[in-house]
Amino acid sequence: MTTFASILIAGISTGAIYALISLGFTLAFNSSGMLNLLQGGFVVLGGLLTYDGVNSWHLPLVVAIVVATLLTTAIAAVFHLLVLRPNARRLSPQNMLLVLLGGLILLQGGGQQIWGDFAYSMRPFGDLEDFTVGSVTIPAQVVWIVGLGIVVCAALTLFLSRTNTGRALRAIAQNPAGARAVGLRVSALAMLSFAATGLLGALAGAFLLPYLSVSMDDAATYSLIGIIGISLGGFGSYFGAVVGGVVLGIIEALATGYLSSLYGESLELVALIIILVLRPEGLLRGASRVRSDTGEPVGTVHYVEHAPRLLGRAVFAVLVVAGAILPLLGFGDELRDINLVGITALALIGMDILMGYLGMVSLGQSAFMAVGGYMAALTVLHLGIPTLLGLLIGVGSAVVVAYVFSVVTVRLAPYYMATVSLALVLLAQDLGGELNITGGTAGLLDIPSLSVAGFSFDTDFRFYYLIWALVAIFGFGSFWVLRGRTGRIMKAISFDPIAAASLGVDVRRYRHYALLYAAALAGLAGALYAFYINFLAPSEVGLSESFTLIVACVLGGAGTLLGPMIGGAFFTYLPAISQGFQQWTTVVEGVLVIAVLSLAPSGLLGSALNGIARLRRMAPQRKKGEVRVRVPA
Amino acid sequence: MSGCRLEARQISKSFGGVKAVDNVSLAAEEGSITGIVGPNGAGKTTLLNLLTGVYAADHGELIVGGTTVARGAWQPHKIARLGVARTFQSARVFPNLNVFDNVLVGAESGPGRTVRRRQAGLAAEVTALLTALGLAERAQAPATALPAGSQKVVELARVLLARPRVLLLDEPASGLAETETARLADTLVAVRGMGITVVIVDHNLRLVMGICDQVVVMDAGRVIAAGDPATVQADPAVRAAYLGASE
């Protein structure tokens, strides 16, 4: 009973924090219809700034909290003003989600430059001692946290129901077009509420600091928690956000208390999946379904011209010849980095099919790499099976996981799919780091090299031909398939699935098989990585790897297959050869994804192809058999 | 091309507490034009979304040419493969495809085997269609580079390539000039001449009354009158609910 009471108290206090995070999500969702992935970053930022305020700048606690909150709010406002507002009506929801993801990467990467990956903590506010009621101990900070939760809920309720600004915000959530028509300044209000999410997040982080520790590493996790919270409570409902957050906190505490912390996070994922499948409208919303599924697509999708056939063939020929003779030119260690580019390229083919062709935002690629890599390495190490068989088992396992993932998410809106894939990646990362069999965060060592029929791919030189042959086969094979009908239908689905379905296209089937194919390629990449480096750790195939794949796609030009590989080369080769670049990779990734989507959404190769097409159109057309005569002026 | 009968029996659809379509029955005969009219919010577009599977109905039956649509088959692509094609209120072309490829997507309507068999001769078919509709010159342009009226034509070419048995048009005349509307009327009459069943939702009463064999008037989710244009126009309930109020 005592245990249960302490667990319940722990659940309610983390629940109060989760409720604040979910409230932040709801505010942003209601004012601009977006999932504010930065929210977790705001939480961590608020906590760490408070820590610095007290410990480095020697401010009184209250002042430190105020300063941290104001700074975070200001950062949120500036991000909205400079990045979100100009793109709000220009980008598709998927690309907007990517911009927000870029913001999260940037915040996390920048924060890591300042605070590193360390976890920070401090004494409870006011240096209070823990209370004891009967035989139950209540940590002092819990009182502060629950108090903050109640105050914020009361203030927000009053604000939304009693003030004109609050009523305007509710009006925008109901009907943005109508709100605009009656003269509400929608974008200003959206900025206000986005800044408010920064405020809520920072407060949550500051109050969390003495209770749990706060680390820059947790930013994405807190964002995920907010998304799970509003999924539980129902998108758009403030009351639901609070209930969802508290319920989530209690679930987590019960699982952690009675099972283990590992199950705490796994159970959150399972809760999310069950909710999304059974009640996509949340626990509280009753039978009312939001009528949004026929809505017309918003935002522009970038148009990429076909490459001129002759040019395409020339590039193909050059690549094949150059690729074949490259290692003969006497590369040393650099061949290894080129091989890593090849492994990334394999995973990127799948990523681009999902993102560039089908418009699905999936963070799952690195999770499938992890499944492929670990299953291949573990079966070979523990069962002693041949490496080729291990490779196939790795790929097969990735496909099986993707199958389950697809069945769960394929009928959900793109937002939910991105969410579930984020959960999947974090789960894979946690499992890899905490299970004994995977070697924990230290990783698996002494994985043998791949050998086929006695021939071992154990040198950079041998592996080079293996990996690049595979890239060529899958790259050009995919290109060949996507050039025609399949690619056309996928691009139609990516912008307007309803219009495509009304023409007889089985949207789910395309999404399903694309996911399986992408997962197979990712699993293959993961398994090859393990066999090539002879080592595998969760950090190699974690969330940051998925970020890199997404940024590579966006930078190179999503939907062009070759473009993402160029982007992938940039992000695999540069960090490999330069320590300085490696340190700043995350920041560069964040900046690039935002900049490319804002300025040239077609990416490097897409913009180049469009430029070539424009030049060709400008050039005078010559018909067959026509002779041009220069007439002297 | 030939058409088929489209029938809805007592279909209903609610959103939250609102009955958007309430117990509506409707039969569009093979080779006829049926017009659906009614004030804003009458449930016309929801009805069209039900007939094309964007929503599955809460209650009621949908019968396409003798085939009753099963619960699990009440999905857009499955209904499309029964030969029901539609256009949207504002043209929904695919902005990431050029005009030619936009029209090509129309060939997806049918069981997989038929679709694959059709692929060979498709390019010629699309070119012919675009030429007939006056868009051959712009075939390689991004679809959204065309003016809004031409985008509607692209959408029409797309559904025509699907060789529909039933064609549903959501406000085809909105945003069109007088002469363009006249051309649209001629096109629709020609489509009916091919035996295709046509259902249009439109606010342009002159167009609807001019070409339809049957007019269905909706208000607040219900059918308040149905019959040939002259009868409907004389109906006092219709005058009260719609015509009287707007003119």
- Count of H-run helices and E-run strands, chain B: 11, 10
Determine the pLDDT at residue A301.
Answer: 64
Q: Which of A303, A488, A505 lies at the smallest CB-CB distance from B77?
A: A505
Q: Strand ranges (DSSP E) for A321-425?
A: none
Contact at CB, A504 and B16, closer than 8 angstroms: no
- Count: domains in chain B: 2
DSSP B169: E
Domain shared by B130 and B18, yes or no: no
Dist. CA A6–CA A133, nearest whole Å: 11
Domain shared by B172 and B225, yes or no: yes
Residue B86: strand pairing partners = B168
Q: What is the ipTM of this complex?
A: 0.90
Residue B47 lies in a domain: yes
Across the range A208-228, mean pLDDT stands at: 89
Across the range A243-258, mean pLDDT stands at: 87
Residue B204 lies in a domain: yes
Domain shared by B115 and B147, yes or no: yes
pLDDT at B61 over 90: yes
Domain shared by B157 and B170, yes or no: no
Distances (CA, A) of A497 to A145, A507, A599, B51, B194: 44, 7, 26, 17, 30
Boundary (domain end) residue, out of B139, B161, B183: B161
Residue B79 lies in a domain: yes
Contact at CB, B108 and A303, closer than 8 angstroms: no
Determine the pLDDT at residue A622.
Answer: 54
Domain shared by B46 and B99, yes or no: no
Residue B90 lies in a domain: no
Instruction: Give the least confident one: A9-13, A115-119, A257-261, A453-457.
Output: A257-261
pLDDT at A189 over 50: yes
Residue A355 near chain B (CB below 8 Å): no
Domain shared by B33 and B54, yes or no: yes
Across the range B52-78, mean pLDDT stands at: 90
Domain shared by B128 and B179, yes or no: no
Domain shared by B136 and B233, yes or no: no
Q: Do residues A241 and A230 touch, judged by C-beta distance below 8 A? A: yes
Across the range A90-108, mean pLDDT stands at: 89
Determine the pLDDT at residue B237.
Answer: 81
* Residue in chain B nearest A304 by alpha carbon: B96
Residue B89 lies in a domain: no
Tokens for A306, please give them: 């076909």
Determine the pLDDT at residue A390.
Answer: 96
Across the range B213-220, mean pLDDT stands at: 91
Determine the pLDDT at residue A297.
Answer: 67
pLDDT at B111 over 80: no
Query: Model confidence at B220, in pLDDT bands (50, 70, 90)?
Result: confident
Class of domain A2-272: mainly alpha
Give the up-direction half-sphere exposure of residue A444: CA atoms within 13 A in the CB hemisphere. Answer: 30
Q: What is the pLDDT of residues A593-623, one digit of tens each?
A: 999 999 988 899 999 998 888 888 787 655 5
Determine the pLDDT at residue A627.
Answer: 52
Domain shared by B190 and B239, yes or no: yes
Residue B125 lies in a domain: yes
Dist. CA B156–CA B146, nearest whole Å: 14
Q: Do residues A417 and A362 touch, judged by C-beta distance below 8 A? A: yes
Phi/psi-derived region of residue B33, left when phi > 0, alpha when psi is between -120 and 50, beta in every other case: beta
Residue type, A187: S
Determine the pLDDT at residue A292.
Answer: 44
Spatial CA neighbour of A197 closest among A72, A15, A107, A78: A72
Boundary (domain end) residue, out of B111, B136, B161: B161
Residue intervals in chain A for CATH 1.10.3470: 2-272
Across the range A496-502, mean pLDDT stands at: 90
Q: Give me the percent of chain A exceeding a pLDDT of 90.
A: 43
pLDDT at A492 over 80: yes
* Residue in chain A nearest B49 by alpha carbon: A294
Which long-range CB contacts under 8 A does A271-276 form with residues at least 24 apart?
A271/A228, A271/A232, A272/A227, A272/A228, A272/A231, A272/A232, A272/A419, A272/A420, A272/A423, A273/A408, A273/A420, A273/A423, A275/A231, A275/A232, A276/A231, A276/A408, A276/A409, A276/A412, A276/A416, A276/A419, A276/A420
Dist. CA A625–CA B10, nearest whole Å: 65
Contact at CB, A507 and B77, closer than 8 angstroms: yes
Determine the pLDDT at residue B28.
Answer: 93
Determine the pLDDT at residue B247.
Answer: 42
Dist. CA A523–CA A521, nearest whole Å: 5
Spatial CA neighbour of A503 closest among B100, B70, B53: B53
pLDDT at B113 over 80: no
Tokens for A234, please give them: 């129902």
Of the ranges A139-143, A198-202, A494-498, the best mean pLDDT one: A198-202
* Residue in chain A nearest B96 by alpha carbon: A303
All residues at 6 or more sequence positions from A124 whose CB lies less than 8 Å from its CB, including other chains: A139, A140, A141, A144, A210, A211
Q: In angstroms, what is the C-alpha Rg of chain B?
A: 18
Higher pLDDT, A269 or B218: B218
Which residues on chain B are in Cβ contact (under 8 Å) with A300? Answer: 95, 144
pLDDT at A288 over 50: no
Residue B149 lies in a domain: yes
pLDDT at B125 over 60: yes
All residues at 6 or more sequence positions from B120 whose CB lies less than 8 Å from its CB, including other chains: none
Residue B218: strand pairing partners = B223
Domain shared by B79 and B169, yes or no: yes
Determine the pLDDT at residue A632.
Answer: 54
Q: Give me the percent of chain A exceeding a pLDDT of 70.
A: 92
Spatial CA neighbour of A568 closest among A590, A549, A544: A549
Tokens for A486, please give them: 């399949």
pLDDT at A1 over 80: no
Q: What is the pLDDT of residues B153-205, one digit of tens each?
A: 899 899 988 889 999 999 888 877 888 888 889 888 988 998 999 999 988 88
Contact at CB, B96 and A288, closer than 8 angstroms: no
State the average pLDDT for chain A.
86
Determine the pLDDT at residue A293.
Answer: 44
Dist. CA A309–CA A494, nearest whole Å: 25
Contact at CB, B49 and A294, closer than 8 angstroms: yes
Domain shared by B79 and B172, yes or no: yes
Q: What is the pLDDT of residues A395-450, one digit of tens each?
A: 999 999 999 989 888 767 666 778 788 888 888 887 888 788 888 888 888 899 99
Tokens for A268, please give them: 């959150």
**CATH code: domain of residue B172:** 3.40.50.300
User: Which domain does B134 fall in, by range?
Assistant: 95-161
pLDDT at A383 over 90: yes
Domain shared by B63 and B126, yes or no: no
The residue of A291, A490, A502, A511 whose CB has the most chain B CBs within 10 angstroms, and thus the best one to mutate to test that interface, is: A502
Instruction: Give the least confident one: A160-164, B94-98, B242-246.
Output: B242-246
Q: Label the pairing between strands B67-68 and B59-64.
A: antiparallel
Which residues on chain A are in Cβ contact (under 8 Å) with B80? Answer: 501-504
Q: Give me the percent of chain B exceeding a pLDDT of 90.
A: 39
Q: Give me the percent of chain B exceeding a pLDDT of 70.
A: 96
The residue of B52, B94, B170 whose CB has the most chain A CBs within 10 angstroms, and thus the best one to mutate to test that interface, is: B94
pLDDT at A286 over 50: no
pLDDT at A629 over 60: no
Which residues on chain B are in Cβ contact (under 8 Å) with A281? Answer: none
pLDDT at B246 over 60: no
All residues at 6 or more sequence positions from B175 whose CB lies less than 8 Å from its CB, including other chains: B90, B148, B149, B152
Query: Model confidence at A110, in pLDDT bands (50, 70, 90)?
Result: very high
Dist. CA A237–CA A284, nearest whole Å: 9
Residue B88 lies in a domain: no
Instruction: Give the least confident one: A374-378, B62-66, B181-185.
Output: B181-185
Q: How far is A19 from chain B (nearest CA, A)?
A: 26
